[in-house]
Structure 1
Amino acid sequence: MYKVGWDKQEIHIIPKGYAMFGYGMWTHRADKKRTALYARSISIQHYLSTPLIFCCLDFGCITHAMRSEAIKQLQQRLGSSFQEQQLVLMATHTHSGPGGCGYEALYNMPTPGFIPEHLDAVIQAIVESICNALQHAEDTEISITSIQFDDITPIAWNRSIKAYNRNPEVLPRTEQETHLALNRRMQLIGFYRQNQLQSFISFFGVHATCLGNTLNAYDGDNKGYAATLSEEFLKQKGLINPVAIFAQATAGDVSPHFHGHKQQKIRDQIQGEQEYQYAQQNGRYQSELALQALSQPLNRIEGEIDALCTYVDLSNIEIPAEFSKGIVDARTSQPCHGQAFFAGTPVDGHGAPKVFTHGMSILAQWVRKKRLANPDSPQYAKYQALYASQGVKNIVMEAGDKKILGQNVDVIPGIFDPLIGEMNKQIKAGAIQDSPLVPSVVPLQLIQLGPLVLVCCPGEITTIAGQRVMKTVQKIVALNPNIKDVWLSSYCNDYMGYITTFEEYQQQAYEGGHTLFGQWTLSAVQFKFQQLAQQLCIAKDLREYDQSTRPKPIPKQELAKRTNHGNVKTAASQGGGG
Structure 2
Amino acid sequence: MIERQRATAMFWVLLLVLLHNGKETISASNYLVGLGSYDITGPAADVNMMGYANSDQTASGIHFRLRARSFIVAEPQGNRVVFVNLDACMGSQLVTIKVLERLKARYGNLYTEQNVAISGIHTHAGPGGYLQYVVYIVTSLGFVRQSFDALVDGIEQSIIRAHENLHPGSIYVNKGEILDAGVNRSPSGYLNNPASERVKYKYDVDKEMTLLKFVDDQWGPVGSFNWFATHGTSMSRTNELISGDNKGTAARLMEDWFDQKSVAKIARRVSNLVQSTHGSHQKLVELASSFQSNPGKTVTKYSSIASRVRSSLKSTEKPRFVSAFCQSNCGDVSPNVLGAFCTDTGLPCDFNHSTCGGKNELCYGRGPGVDEFESTRIIGERQFKKAADLFNSATEKLNGKIDFRHTYLDMSQLEVTVPKPGGGSDTVKTCPAAMGFAFAAGTTDGPGAFDFKQGDNSGNLFWKMVRNVLKSPSKEQKDCQQPKPILLDTGEMKQPYDWAPSILPVQILKIGQMVILSVPGEFTTMAGRRLRDAVSAVFKEKVHVVIAGLTNTYSQYITTFEEYEMQRYEGASTLYGPHTLSAYIQEFTKLASAIVNRKPVEAGPQPPDLLDKQISLLPGVVVDSTPLGVKFGDVKTDIPKSSTFNKGENVSVVFWSACPRNDLMTEGTFALVELLHGQDTWVPVYDDDDICLRFKWSRPSKLSAQSHATIEWRIPQSAAPGVYRVTHFGASKNLLGSISHFTGSSNAFVVK
TM over 0.5: yes
Structure 2 CA distance for partners of 1:170 and 1:114, relative to 1, 3 Å: farther
**1:294 to 2:391 alignment:** yes
Distance (Å, rounded) in 1 between the aligned partners of 2:421 and 2:260: 53
- Is the contact made by 2:369 and 2:375 (CA closer than 8 Å) also made in structure 1? no
Gaps of 5+ in 1: 371-378, 403-431, 572-578
Distance (Å, rounded) in 2 between the aligned partners of 1:364 and 1:44: 54
Aligned pairs (5 A) from 1:494-533: 494-533=553-592
Match of 2:258 in 1: 234
From the CA coordinates, give the structure whose radius of gyration is larger: 2
Distance (Å, rounded) in 2 between the aligned partners of 1:324 and 1:19: 47
**1:397 to 2:488 alignment:** yes
**1:335 to 2:398 alignment:** no
Q: Which secondary structure does the structure 2 equivalent of 1:443 belong to?
A: strand
Amino acid at match of 1:308: R
Match of 1:98 in 2: 127
Amino acid at match of 2:435: H
User: Equivalent of 2:115, from 86, 91, 97?
Assistant: 86
- Is the contact made by 2:93 and 2:552 (CA closer than 8 Å) also made in structure 1? yes
Amino acid at match of 1:197: P
**Larger deviation, residues 324-333 vs 443-452:** 324-333
Aligned pairs (5 A) from 1:34-49: 34-49=63-78
User: Equivalent of 2:606, from 546, 550, 565?
Assistant: 550
Distance (Å, rounded) in 1 between the aligned partners of 2:462 and 2:404: 43
Q: Which secondary structure does the structure 1 equivalent of 2:59 belong to?
A: coil
- Is the contact made by 1:50 and 1:83 (CA closer than 8 Å) also made in structure 2? no
- Is the contact made by 1:215 and 1:272 (CA closer than 8 Å) also made in structure 2? no
Distance (Å, rounded) in 1 between the aligned partners of 2:369 and 2:388: 29
Distance (Å, rounded) in 2 between the aligned partners of 1:366 and 1:355: 12
Deviation string 1:15-64 (CA, Å, 9 cap, x unpaired) is 12111000001011101111010011111111222431111110001111
Match of 2:187 in 1: 161
More strand as a share of residues: 2
User: Equivalent of 2:95, from 55, 58, 66?
Assistant: 66
Distance (Å, rounded) in 1 between the aligned partners of 2:198 and 2:365: 28
Distance (Å, rounded) in 2 between the aligned partners of 1:492 and 1:229: 24
**1:132 to 2:156 alignment:** no
Match of 2:290 in 1: none
Q: Which secondary structure does the structure 2 equivalent of 1:30 belong to?
A: strand
Match of 1:309 in 2: 406
Aligned pairs (5 A) from 1:343-492: 343-346=441-444, 348-354=445-451, 361-363=459-461, 383-402=474-493, 433=495, 435-478=497-540, 481=541, 483-492=542-551
Structure 2 CA distance for partners of 1:448 and 1:268, relative to 1, 3 Å: closer
Structure 2 CA distance for partners of 1:236 and 1:538, relative to 1, 3 Å: same
Larger relative CO (CA 8 A, sep 6+): 1 or 2? Answer: 1
**Larger deviation, residues 357-366 vs 60-69:** 357-366
Deviation string 1:181-236 (CA, Å, 9 cap, x unpaired) is 11101011111246953211110000010000111110000000000000001111
More helix as a share of residues: 1
Deviation string 1:82-138 (CA, Å, 9 cap, x unpaired) is 233111101110000110001111110001110112111111110111011111111
**1:191 to 2:217 alignment:** no
Deviation string 1:230-258 (CA, Å, 9 cap, x unpaired) is 00011118875111110011100000013
**1:21 to 2:50 alignment:** yes
Q: Which secondary structure does the structure 1 equivalent of 2:516 belong to?
A: strand
User: Equivalent of 1:249, from 316, 325, 328?
Assistant: 328
Q: Which secondary structure does the structure 2 equivalent of 1:19 belong to?
A: strand
Distance (Å, rounded) in 2 between the aligned partners of 1:111 and 1:262: 30
Amino acid at match of 2:383: Q
Structure 2 CA distance for partners of 1:235 and 1:365, relative to 1, 3 Å: closer
Distance (Å, rounded) in 2 between the aligned partners of 1:359 and 1:390: 11
- Is the contact made by 2:411 and 2:431 (CA closer than 8 Å) also made in structure 1? yes
Q: Which secondary structure does the structure 2 equivalent of 1:468 belong to?
A: helix
Amino acid at match of 1:45: A
Q: Which secondary structure does the structure 2 equivalent of 1:330 belong to?
A: strand
Match of 1:11 in 2: 40
Amino acid at match of 2:52: Y
1:11 Cα deviation after fit: 1.2
Structure 2 CA distance for partners of 1:563 and 1:304, relative to 1, 3 Å: farther
Distance (Å, rounded) in 1 between the aligned partners of 2:202 and 2:618: 42
Amino acid at match of 2:374: Q
Amino acid at match of 1:440: S
Count, aligned residues? 516
Match of 2:203 in 1: 180
User: Equivalent of 2:376, from 257, 279, 284?
Assistant: 279
Q: How many percent identity over aligned positions?
A: 28
Distance (Å, rounded) in 2 between the aligned partners of 1:296 and 1:95: 32
Q: Which secondary structure does the structure 2 equivalent of 1:215 belong to?
A: coil
Q: Which secondary structure does the structure 2 equivalent of 1:162 belong to?
A: helix
Match of 1:373 in 2: none
Distance (Å, rounded) in 1 between the aligned partners of 2:197 and 2:504: 33
Q: Which secondary structure does the structure 1 equivalent of 2:460 belong to?
A: helix
Amino acid at match of 1:335: A
